[in-house]
Amino acid sequence: MAASADFETDEGADGVGVRFTGRLTLARLGDLPARLDALGPIRTLDLSDVERIDTVGAWIITRTARAHDAEVTGASEDAQRLLKALADDKSDYRVHRDRRPMWARMLEELGTASVGVWNEFIGIVGFFGAMIVAFITQLRARRRIRWHAIVTRFQTVGVDALPIIGLMSFLIGIVIAQQGAVQLRQFGLEVFTINLVGRASIRELGLLMTAIMVAGRSGSAFAAQIGTMKLTEEVDAMRTIGVSPMEAIVLPRVAASTIIMPLLGFYASLCAIVGGGVFSWIGLDIPPITYIQRLREIIPMTDFWAMLIKAPVFGILVGVTGCYSGMQVRQNAEEVGRRTTSAVVAAIFLVIVLDAFFAVFFSSIGWN
């Protein structure tokens, strides 16, 4: 059995003579470097009894010889070749990035993040503008709108989302009705549960939950698809062929999410109302006919219009943030994941902020 790397020492007047034995290889090194470092001034490094040596072993020898200004003797032909290859000074080869003190890095990160958020905002606005310009150019040049691409997205953004959005909204309808009924029962006003479910779902919740779901389902998909296309240089290939990526990739996706959002939002509202109706029927003994009649009395047409006005805006938001994030992907695969996350977060955040603005706006014009 071959021996692991070891050495014997021989104390002399002008330093230690070190005689290595066994195999000076990575696998056999063990704690040899540490023991070697613990020695006093070294005079000679004798390699004549070394069975085998690899670059790591040769590096240890080179390093030690340089540190102690020691002489290397008895190196075999193989060892000499390796030692020669490693002889040049490697001290200017860097391995890590420069490290700054903690406080400087924190400040730097804070600054970078602030600038990043601002740039992101400017970027999204700029991207939105570029998209509008591309749309107008496409119309002006009388180029065919890519209906096929848009309709394909209808399938993935809209039709495929129907089951999950329907189920989610149905359950939310039940939850609102149930929680509302518990509170209203204290005043004997259980019947107002219908008002709560009807107005909340048509005006706010149906669409809001839909927008969040579409941002999570499709906004992320847009970002990941486009990001991957950027990485594989498909987007660049498109540009060189003369196809505008804005026209071919971005516009169909944004158009699809814009057109589909009102439909999905309306569908979600209906599902929530059905959910509320089922609970009212079973839990509150309100028959469906009464439920529907009451809904017709209490939901003003303006609620419906408010939803239809908000929906396309949310659709544009989700589409634009998704496509923008995808287009920002550079360098590596990790970036795709990061950008996808930021697409979803930005879309949901912006949707909720805009929804608040809309709420204030609609009340102030008297749509109560």
Partner 1 sequence: MADEEEQKEIRQELAAADAVRPEKFDIAIRVRGLVNQFGDAVIHDHLDLDVRSGEILGVVGGSGTGKSVLMRSIVGLQTPTAGEIEVYGKSLDTIANEEESRDLRRRWGVMFQGGALFSTLSVAENIQVPLREYYPRLDQALLDEIAAYKVAMVGLPPDAGPKFPAELSGGMVKRAGLARALALDPALLFLDEPTAGLDPIGAAKFDELIRELADTMGLTVFLITHDLDSLYATCDRVAVLAEKKVIAVGTIAELLATEHPWIQDYFNGPRGRAATTSHGRAAHDRTS
**Where does this chain bind partner 1 (CB under 8 A)?**
1-2, 4, 25-31, 33-35, 52, 54-56, 59, 63, 78, 81-82, 85-86, 88, 90, 92-97, 330-334
For partner 1, give the closer residue by CB, 104 or 133: 104
Task: Please state the closest distance from residue 34 (CB atom) to partner 1, in A.
Answer: 8
For partner 1, give the closer residue by CB, 68 or 310: 68
Task: Please state the closest distance from residue 307 (CB atom) to partner 1, in A.
Answer: 43
Residue holding tokens 């039709």?
A: 159
User: What are residue 244's DSSP bridge partners?
Assistant: none
User: By the 8 A CB rule, do 241 and 204 touch?
Assistant: no
For partner 1, give the closer residue by CB, 2 or 117: 2
For partner 1, give the closer residue by CB, 37 or 160: 37
Phi, psi of 41 (to 5 degrees): -60, 130
For partner 1, give the closer residue by CB, 217 or 230: 230
Task: Please state the closest distance from residue 226 (CB atom) to partner 1, in A.
Answer: 18
Task: Please state the closest distance from residue 100 (CB atom) to partner 1, in A.
Answer: 14
Task: Please state the closest distance from residue 60 (CB atom) to partner 1, in A.
Answer: 8
| Cα 59 to Cα 41: distance, rounded to the nearest angstrom | 18
Contacts of 281 (CB under 8 A, 6+ apart): 287, 288, 291
319: closest CA among 248, 253, 243?
253
181: closest CA among 282, 269, 267, 272?
282
For partner 1, give the closer residue by CB, 59 or 128: 59
For partner 1, give the closer residue by CB, 97 or 140: 97
**Rg value, the chain, Cα:** 35
Q: Which two tokens stand for residue 55?
A: 């670059």
How many other β-carbons are positioned within 10 Å of the β-carbon of residue 169?
A: 27
Query: In a 3-state reduction of DSSP, which class is residue 230?
Result: helix
Q: Are strands 42-53 and 71-73 parallel, antiparallel or unpaired?
A: parallel
* Residue positions counted in the chain: 368
Query: In a 3-state reduction of DSSP, which class is residue 72?
Result: strand
Task: Please state the closest distance from residue 322 (CB atom) to partner 1, in A.
Answer: 23
For partner 1, give the closer residue by CB, 59 or 192: 59
168: closest CA among 270, 272, 266, 308?
272
Residue holding tokens 């998209």?
A: 131
Angle at CA of residue 346, ends 342 and 349, nearest 5°: 140
Task: Please state the closest distance from residue 245 (CB atom) to partner 1, in A.
Answer: 21
Q: Give, as one character, the DSSP assignment of residue 145.
A: P
Task: Please state the closest distance from residue 112 (CB atom) to partner 1, in A.
Answer: 17
